[in-house]
Structure 1
Amino acid sequence: MGGIGLLSACAVATDETPDGEEAVTRAAFERDGKTWPLKTDSAELRCYDGEVVTATVDGTEYQLNSQAQREGFPSIEPIWADAQGSPYDLKVNLGELIDAGIGLCATPQ
């Protein structure tokens, strides 16, 4: 039953209109001096309810923060880039991408 609840939560979240959305690219991020954390060269960032941040790649909307995880969005793991040169299988920090997504959120009234 737990899986059904997760699917339901995800369906509800993705049916909502995002507060904001924006196409982002590796090139633009790197041009701004930021580190691109995904294996793909682009993604569609979305923010819902002032705090739920997701990235859509190839039609799948992935969680970028814990709020999106609670809403049942799939894990970012399949598209999350490995940190270069790390002997510990670390991933690239998602912070700058999350910050960009939070920036799309509407200011609470």
Structure 2
Amino acid sequence: RDLVPGSQVLMRGTGTPNFGGPIVTGAGLVFIGAAMDNYLRAFDARSGKELWKGRLPAGGQATPMTYVWKGRQYVVIAAGGHSKSDTRRGDQIVAFALPE
């Protein structure tokens, strides 16, 4: 939602129930890995178009975070699965570098 007028800006399905939240970068990328298919996805915040997806070793039922290291931006997510969602279990932290 646009916080000033409160109007909806984007609604986009992922095809499965979600157990986790999204993050939005300053460049207008929405990252979410909460779906039950073991992918972290990036969407355009304005159009809703899926721009990228990266395979996770286990369910990403967590909210991703972003950080910058040595001038490069990364997005990271815990891929641990969830006992209630019947996704693959694991104990990995996965980081992806955003394009320069």
TM superposition score category, shorter chain reference: 0.3 to 0.5
Give the structure with the higher percent strand. Answer: 2
What is the TM-score with the length of structure 1 in the denominator?
A: 0.33
Give the structure with the higher percent helix. Answer: 1
What is the TM-score with the length of structure 2 in the denominator?
A: 0.35
